[in-house]
Amino acid sequence: MSLSSVPAAHGPSAPAPTSHAAADRRAVAARPAAARPAAARSAAARTEPESTGAEAIVRSLDMLGVTDVFGIPGGAILPTYDALMDSPRIRHVLVRHEQGAGHAAEGYAAATGRVGVAMATSGPGATNLVTAIMDARFDSVPLLAITGQVSSEALGTDAFQEADIVGITVPITKHSYLVTEASEIPGVLAEAHRLALDGRPGPVLVDITKDAQQGTAPFVWPPEGHDAPAASTAKVSRSQIRRAADEIARADRPVLYVGGGAVRAGAAAELRELADLVGAPVVTTLMARGILPDSHPLNLGMPGMHGTVPAVLAMQRSDLLVAIGARFDERVTGDRAQFAPDARVVHIDIDAAEISKLRHAHVPIVADARTALPELTRALRSRDARADLGAWWSFLDGLRQEYPLGFSPTSDGRIAPQHVIQRIGRLTGPEAIYTAGVGQHQMWAAQFIGFERPQAWLNSGGAGTMGYSIPAAMGAKVAVPDRVVWAIDGDGSFQMTNQELATCAMNDIPIKVAVINNSSLGMIRQWQNLFYGRRYSNSDLGTGQDTVRIPDVVRLAEAYGCAALRVEDESEVDEAIGTALAINDRPVVIDFVVSADAMVWPMVPQGVGNDRIRYARDHEAAFGDGV
């Protein structure tokens, strides 16, 4: 192991437009309730002297409680950047790529539950945000993307750096707005910020023309409707709660199936109270790791393609699934026709569109989990008798004993990547925040780090976005600077957004980065090994031991102003992690050179039922009658 010598760090409205024609776009430009004439506004609204649209953007963000923005300036957003210089309360983090701004805003939001804000210019600046916007939509992350746009008279003329970003993002946002008047800005931003959080969280885009930023109008705050009650406060159907309680009380093999929606709802305490009362096993999806502590005796771990055998087979054998903020995606269910054939379903979700979309819900409950779970707990307490779960737990405890989560020594004598990740978790502890890219390292991190609290595990679940880890860690560290933040990345994901290490170094954001370097696109290589006759087509990267080492991870990290280490022997792992934890004045990057032959197990091959889960390469877990 070597430590580089590094100098000190540097200090809902009108439908969104989809047509590219200028006349059409002007006709349907967003005009929310908050942008109505002054006479229609709340009497409590305060009108102040005229300000420019750019000043109104900054002022509105300040009034909404935004303290941090990630972005890059460009011509169409430059008036706003000029106004931003005068804000004493909003910190702007200058990223190196707009995708990094989007993922940083995601990490910020996921770590706190607050809206993350990303800003970019028109054309390619805006389109570079699209991946992060899609990612936030999949994973229900409250993201506000503000983009500059060419002046309104140039719309539809193919002007320099013009792109119909509203039309592009309509399918992947909760709403996309086009603002062409300075007077609309406070109302639109207030509504967009609220919409990002309300109901099922998600991304909202506000595209603001340059002349709207340069124009002037009286600044009115608060806009009309700004203090309306949130959807999450809506009442829960008592009859449906009673039906759900009846289902749970008579179930012999219940499972609480908890997804990321429960995390977004902030329902950890409510979930734990329900679980302790019912005594049923709990499985937490990739997006919900930590909402029930891994150390809790009811927690069977993660279900799905790379879930634990007890979690996967518990769902498969259950007679009742209580889905809480989960969406029955194919990575959890496997072949849906064969998934949990005997299970009835209670489905609690704030998004009505998710209920019975992929699996029929016998008891649908459209509600915020934090509101619904206490109601369900109270209903269950009033019941004198519930089914005895002794036989069910006997079966599950047998699975736990027979199929513990673990890993085998590597075939080439190099470091086992699972060991590295496990040691990072144990030496750092559960109070840290861990982000991951996408691939094998993501699954190993989900498996081998012990998560004891929600919002400690941030990753790209639905979209599977390589490059998420480093900028998301950066955003999380800005949001929660007192927590240690680790970005656990693969050498493939690392190369997609590592330029944000410069952002971290220049802005005193001391994240820790563990590059799990197997010199390949590891999950692609695993599938090629298992399903394509070991034909490794375009999956070798040349970054590891006995390769050309392009790039050299240590030298690259040094160039970005980071402390850098390389670990090639298992005996050096703990020392390197300890060194990284002791450095807090700049980012640290550790190049862990690991075996390329390590695989993620257990695994349910794509397209088969979950009863076909493979514990290891030649070991298919037995699925018998059991109970």
Task: Give the active site residues.
Answer: 98, 160-161, 210, 523
Composition of the chain by helix, strand, coil, percent to 5: 40, 20, 40
| Distance (Å, whole) CA 25 – CA 29 | 6
- The CA–CA distances, whole Å, from 142 to 9, 148, 197, 201, 202 equal 32, 20, 6, 5, 4
Q: Nearest to residue 112, comparing CAs of 387, 421, 403, 477? A: 477
Tokens at 607, concatenated: 């397209």
User: Which strands make up the sheet holding 588-593, listed edge to edge?
Assistant: 2-3, 563-567, 588-593, 512-517, 485-490, 433-436, 457-458
DSSP for 330-384, please give it.
HHHHBSGGGSSTT-EEEEEES-GGGTTTSS--SEEEES-HHHHHHHHHHHHHT-S
| Distance (Å, whole) CA 232 – CA 251 | 29
Instruction: Indicate if the alpha-carbon torsion angle 22, 162, 107, 11 is positive or negative.
Output: negative
Is the CB of residue 408 less than 8 Å from the CB of residue 616? yes
117, containing H or E segment: strand 116-120
- The CA–CA distances, whole Å, from 555 to 82, 354, 558, 593 equal 36, 47, 5, 15
Is the CB of residue 143 less than 8 Å from the CB of residue 173? no
Q: What are phi and psi of 257, to 5 degrees?
A: -105, 105
CB atoms within 10 A of CB 212: 29
Is the CB of residue 192 less than 8 Å from the CB of residue 175? yes
Only one residue has tokens 């580089």, namely 4
Measured in whole angstroms, how far is the alpha carbon of residue 25 from the centre of its chain? Answer: 32
CB atoms within 10 A of CB 564: 27
Tokens at 42, concatenated: 């709340």
CB atoms within 10 A of CB 361: 19
Measured in whole angstroms, how far is the alpha carbon of residue 507 from the centre of its chain? Answer: 23
User: CB-based contacts of 146: which residues, under 8 Å, 6+ apart?
Assistant: 57, 71, 77, 80, 117, 118, 119, 120, 189, 205, 206, 208
Is the CB of residue 415 less than 8 Å from the CB of residue 567? yes
Tokens at 82, concatenated: 């000029």
Q: Nearest to residue 480, comparing CAs of 5, 114, 57, 4? A: 114
| Distance (Å, whole) CA 168 – CA 341 | 40
Alpha helix locations (H) across 141-206?
165-169, 185-197
| Distance (Å, whole) CA 371 – CA 234 | 9
| Distance (Å, whole) CA 342 – CA 351 | 25
